[in-house]
Amino acid sequence: MDALKYVSQILDDADSWETMMFLYDAALRQMSTKIDILNEEFIHIHNYNPIEHVKSRIKEPKSIVKKLKRHGHEVTLENMLKYITDIAGIRIICSFTQDIYRIADYITHPKVSGYRSYHMLVAVPVHLSDRVVDIIVEVHIRTIAQDFWASLEHKIYYKFEGSAPEYISKDLRACAEFVAELDDKMLSLNEAIQSEA
């Protein structure tokens, strides 16, 4: 059952918002466990861990409301589920671009901003006592350098409320290219070190 169908059954409940936040939290915990197991498997089988660290978060209610309003949607629980796909988010940080390939297919076409990483929406089945509800979790897979760039880009665009001057956008795209070059160079160095071992 998808979350939109489920929410229509709980809308009369006073705690429907809390129920949905519980479901998003449960989905995040399940994804975190799967990622931990994947990392441990790489360590066990390949004697190598591709994941540096994992961050997860649930979007704050005020951010959800702001995003709905910004896109012209009425603030309702149904619209939250229908239009906001990043309520639950998990970020996997890797050392090298090669590690992104190991975790998922790497998207080689950069976004307009110049940022390169792998983004996907995953439907996580949350098992309740009387049903299974699919909850969407947004997954980002990045290198350390990409994460550095993305964190600063977010802060810059937040300051300008999403509409930074063109010269800033241009400089951010140039920085994204530097980050890509840095990732390529670090990967080459790592491969050279591995071949010497």
Task: Express each pLDDT in 44-82 by its tens digit.
Answer: 988 888 899 999 999 998 999 999 998 999 988 888 888
Taking residues 101-116, what's their average pLDDT?
59
- Lookup result for tokens 């994804």: 31
Question: Is it the case that residue 30 has pLDDT exceeding 80?
Answer: yes
pTM of the predicted protein model: 0.77
At 108, the pLDDT band (50, 70, 90 cuts) reads very low
With both helix axes pointing from N to C terminus, report the angle between 166-196 and 144-159 in degrees, rounded to the nearest 10: 170
State residue 11 phi and psi, 5-degree precision: -60, -30
* pLDDT tens for each residue of 157-190: 777 766 778 888 888 888 888 888 898 898 888 8
The strand pairing partners of 125, in sequence order, are 134
Give 145's contacts (C-beta < 8 A, 6+ positions apart): 179, 182, 183, 186
What pLDDT was estimated at residue 12?
53
Let me know: does 113 contact 101? Beta carbons within 8 Å: no
**Residue 33 confidence (pLDDT):** 92
